[in-house]
C-alpha cells in the first residue's frame, strides 16, 4: 500500500515532530518498526548522556560510537563500564570490546586533551569526549561536547555538539569528511510571558583535504575543522532561533497597525514616484 520507504518516512516524521522530544519519538518509532532500530539509532542524533568514569572520576559522554552492547567506553581510562564479559580474553580486537588500535588510541588520548582545552575556552564548563576508530584507509572519530545552562531556573538551556568525521589517507594529504549536528534547547517562563520554548537541531557537512604528516597535525586539522564548523553553526543557530523565528511571529501578527503601515508604504511610493518625474 504505502510506496514510501519506511526508513525515509521515519526520518521525515522526526524532522517534523517537536525536536525537544526526539528521544521519545525515536523510541516510539522503534517500537512500531523494530526492523529499523539499528538504522535509526545510527542516523538520528539525540541529546548526549553523561557518565562518570570509575577509574579517573572524570565525566564522559555516551553515544553509539563508544557503546558495546550495554557498556560504554570511557575516553579517559579506555575501560568499558560495566566491564565487558570475562570471556573477552578471546577477543582478537584488543581484548574485549571495540577499542581503537594502539596508534589510533594514542591520537585519541591527545585529541581528548586538546578538546578538553577547547571545551574550557568556548564552553567554560560542560563535558567533552572524543572517540576514534580505525578505518581500512585511515581513521574516523566523533567529537562530542555538552553544556547545560542553569537547569531548573526560569531560563534554561542545553547544547549538544556531535561532530562525526572520517580522515582518509591520500597521497601526502588527508581527506576529511565532517558531519556536524548541534542540538540546542532553550526555554524560559515568567508570569508576563508564560512558557516559551525554542528547541531544535541543525546539521551541516563539509569535506576538505589537508596535509597531515604527524599525529599532532591530524589533531590540529580536526580541531580547526570542528572549531570553524561550530562558529558557523553558532551563527546559523543564532540567526534561525532569534532572527527567523522572531520574524515569523511578526509575520503572523503585526504589533503596529497594518493599514497605517500600508499607508506609509503608499506615501513612500508616491514620494519616490514624484522624485523620479
What is the C-alpha separation between 189 and 156, in angstroms, rounded? 9
Query: How far apart are the C-alpha atoms of 91 and 69, rounded to whole Å?
Result: 14
Candidates 89-97, 100-108, 168-176, 213-221; binding stretch for other proteins (CB under 8 A)? 213-221
The reply on whether position 137 binds other proteins by CB under 8 A is: no
Reported residue count of the chain is: 277
User: From the list 8, 16, 172, 276, which residue makes contact with other proteins (rule: CB under 8 A)?
Assistant: 16
**Smallest distance, other proteins to C-beta of residue 3, A:** 8
Bond into 82 cis (ω within 30) = yes
Nearest to 73, CA basis, from 109, 45, 43: 109
Within 151-170, the residues that bind other proteins by CB under 8 A are 155-159
* Binding of residue 50 to other proteins (CB under 8 A): no
- Out of 62, 98, 149, 206, name the contact with other proteins by CB under 8 A: 149
Q: How close are the terminal C-alpha atoms of the chain, in Å?
A: 65
Contact flag: residue 216 with other proteins (CB under 8 A): yes
Binding of other proteins at residue 102 (CB under 8 A)? no
Angle at 101 (CA atoms; ends 212, 97), nearest 5 degrees: 140
Reference 97, options 116, 115, 112, 77; nearest CA is: 77
Indicate whether 120 belongs to the interface with other proteins (CB under 8 A).
yes
User: Distance between CA 131 and CA 65 in Å, rounded?
Assistant: 7
Q: Taking CB under 8 A as the criterion, which residues in 51-70 touch other proteins? A: none
Contact with other proteins (CB under 8 A): which of 194, 273, 274, 276?
A: 194
**Residue 116 makes contact with other proteins by CB under 8 A:** yes
**Which triple of cell numbers denotes residue 257?**
497597525
168 neighbors 138 (Cβ within 8 angstroms): yes
Contacts with other proteins by CB under 8 A: the residue count is 83
Complex with other proteins: residue 46 or 99, whichever CB lies closer: 46
Task: Figure out which of the listed residues 7, 20, 71, 206 binds other proteins, where binding follows CB under 8 A.
Answer: 20
Kindly state the cell numbers that stand for 245. 523565528
Q: Candidates 203, 213, 268, 270: give the one binding other proteins (CB under 8 A).
A: 203
Contact between 258 and other proteins (CB under 8 A)?
A: yes
Amino acid at each position: 500500500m504505502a510506496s514510501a520507504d519506511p526508513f525515509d518516512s521515519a526520518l521525515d516524521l522526526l524532522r517534523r515532530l517537536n525536536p525537544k522530544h526526539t528521544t521519545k519519538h525515536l523510541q516510539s518509532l522503534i517500537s512500531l518498526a523494530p526492523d529499523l532500530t539499528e538504522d535509526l539509532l545510527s542516523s538520528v542524533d539525540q541529546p548526549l548522556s553523561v557518565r562518570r568514569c570509575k577509574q579517573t572520576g572524570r565525566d564522559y559522554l555516551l553515544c553509539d560510537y563508544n557503546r558495546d552492547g550495554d557498556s560504554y567506553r570511557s575516553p579517559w581510562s579506555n575501560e568499558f563500564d560495566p566491564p565487558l564479559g570475562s570471556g573477552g580474553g578471546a577477543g582478537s580486537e584488543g581484548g574485549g570490546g571495540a577499542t581503537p588500535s594502539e596508534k589510533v588510541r594514542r591520537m585519541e588520548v591527545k585529541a581528548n586533551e586538546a578538546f578538553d582545552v577547547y571545551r574550557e575556552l568556548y564552553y567554560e564548563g560542560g563535558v567533552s569526549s572524543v572517540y576514534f576508530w580505525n578505518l581500512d584507509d585511515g581513521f574516523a572519530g566523533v567529537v562530542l561536547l555538552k553544556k547545560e545552562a542553569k537547569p531548573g531556573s526560569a531560563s534554561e538551556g542545553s547544547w549538544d555538539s556531535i561532530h562525526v568525521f572520517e580522515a582518509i589517507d591520500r597521497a601526502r594529504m588527508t581527506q576529511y569528511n565532517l558531519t556536524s549536528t548541534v542540538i540546542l534547547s532553550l526555554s524560559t517562563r515568567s508570569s508576563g510571558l508564560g512558557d516559551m520554548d525554542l528547541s531544535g537541531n541543525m546539521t551541516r557537512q563539509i569535506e576538505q583535504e589537508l596535509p597531515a604528516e604527524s599525529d599532532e597535525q591530524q589533531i590540529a586539522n580536526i580541531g580547526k575543522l570542528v572549531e570553524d564548523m561550530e562558529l558557523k553553526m553558532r551563527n546559523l543557530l543564532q540567526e534561525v532561533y532569534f532572527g527567523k523565528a522572531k520574524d515569523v511571529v511578526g509575520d503572523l501578527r503585526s504589533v503596529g497597525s497594518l493599514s497605517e503601515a500600508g499607508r506609509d508604504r503608499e506615501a513612500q511610493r508616491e514620494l519616490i514616484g514624484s522624485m523620479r518625474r
